[in-house]
Structures are given as structure tokens and as C-alpha cells.
Amino acid sequence: RAAAQALRERHRDWAILTLDKVDVTSSWVDRVRGEPANALLPAVEDHREWLPYIDLSGFSSWEEYLATRSKKLRSQVGRELRVLERDHSVRFRRTLDSSELEADVESFFDLHERRWTGRGRSTLAHEHARAALADFAAAALEAGWLRLWFLEVDRQPIASWYGWRVGPRYAHYQSGLDPAWSRRSAGLILLGRTIRDAIEDGAIEYDMLGGGEGYKRRFETGRREALRHR
């Protein structure tokens, strides 16, 4: 309702509204689009896709959830973390203070770019995308939504995770990784830590948003259909 009202009040400032990856069962989008007799603009629906998620409502602990995953995944997550902790000083850290935010956001961007080394350009390479994510991080931290995580080895960040917790949903947006640590499953270890935090935080869903990457299939418990509204 708030978004619909804001759009109507500033209707002269925009011409096209795109709503990406909207759950087909969501009712809120109808309020934004407006009733048929009073619609903001003609609507087009296209680009259907599947969004993976983890239903956390039936799990009281990370261990309970992990027990439902494949034997290979359980072994990999546990073994690689134990090896890291044996050979190095290991710390999981979440950004909690505004004084840390600017440096942490830059560290996230740096690790995200390293993750794309040799694979083309990331969508976060553009300055506008970075500015938007930095602004959102500041507002989200103030609101208590931000979940910006790092895996540090010997005091150096080797993997990062950017997401948020709004209401009962914990959402995974983007990640970063130092390629030198990819064979040590650093990204997988950090992803597992955020799922653990979501369970301990009382979230009922871990939303993995868009993308059909193989690692998401290893963790997901279900998928929802989504589409784009224009």
C-alpha cells in the first residue's frame, strides 16, 4: 500500500515500472499496479522463472536442518571447516556497527569482483549498482535488516555474503569469494553459517532469490514460480 501511494504521488517522475522476480501467488503487486479501472499503466507479465528457498519452519537447529541434506554436503561443510580451523585462525563476522559499514561494503565489492575473475563482468561492476547497494546497506543497518557476513582467515576476509532479514524472511542476495580459497569451499562454508544464523534468528524462510546455480539446489527445500511485471 505504501509503495502504491508513493508511486501515485510521484507519477510524473516515472514512465515505466518493472517488478522483477515476483512470486506468482503474491497479492501485493495488484495494489502497486492499481485496480483495472484505475491502473497506473497497462501491465505485461513475462520472464517466468523458479526461485529456490529453504523452509526453516520445521527446524530448531542448524544440525537438524543439515541432517536432511545429502551425505556428501554434510561431510563437505563439516570437514572443510574443521580443516580451516585446524590450520588457521577462523572467524565469522557480521557487520553490526555503522563505523564498520563503509569498509565492509567495499570489502564485499572487492571479494565479489574477485569471484568473477576470468568469468566476465559482474552486474555489480557498474557504479550505479554499487551506489544503490551501499545506500541500501546503510538504511538496512539502521532498520536492523542488514545481514552482511564475512568469513575471515588469519584476520583477512576470504568470503562475503550480502543479504537481509525482513519480517520472517532471511534473503541471500549476493556473495563474494577470493578465488585462492575456492578449493577450500570457503563460499559454501559461509553460506552454511548464514543459514545457521537464520535458524537461530527465528526466521521461517531462507530465500535464495534468483538463479539456478547448482550450489543452491544442494541447500533448497523448495521452489516458487516468479515472473516479471512491467
Provide, rounded to the nearest whole percent, the portion of the chain with pLDDT above 70. 94
Tell me the pLDDT band of 37, cut-offs 50, 70 and 90. Answer: very low
pTM for the predicted model, two decimal places: 0.86
What average pLDDT does the segment 109-136 reach? Answer: 86
**Taking the C-alpha atoms of 104, 203, 191 and 172 in order, what is their torsion angle to the nearest 10 degrees?**
-60
DSSP for 186-225, please give it.
HHHHHHHHHHHHHHHTT-SEEE--S---HHHHHH-SEEEE
| Lowest-confidence region among 19-33, 81-95, 201-215 | 19-33
The answer, yes or no, to whether residue 137 has pLDDT greater than 90, is yes
The answer, yes or no, to whether residue 218 has pLDDT greater than 90, is yes
Rounded-to-integer distance, Cα 34 and Cα 115, Å: 41
CB 227 within 8 A of CB 17: no
Higher per-residue confidence, 229 vs 218: 218
The answer, yes or no, to whether residue 40 has pLDDT greater than 70, is no
Count of Cβ atoms closer than 10 Å to residue 198 Cβ: 27
DSSP for 102-119, please give it.
HHHHHHHHHHHHHHTTTS
Q: Output the average pLDDT for the chain.
A: 90
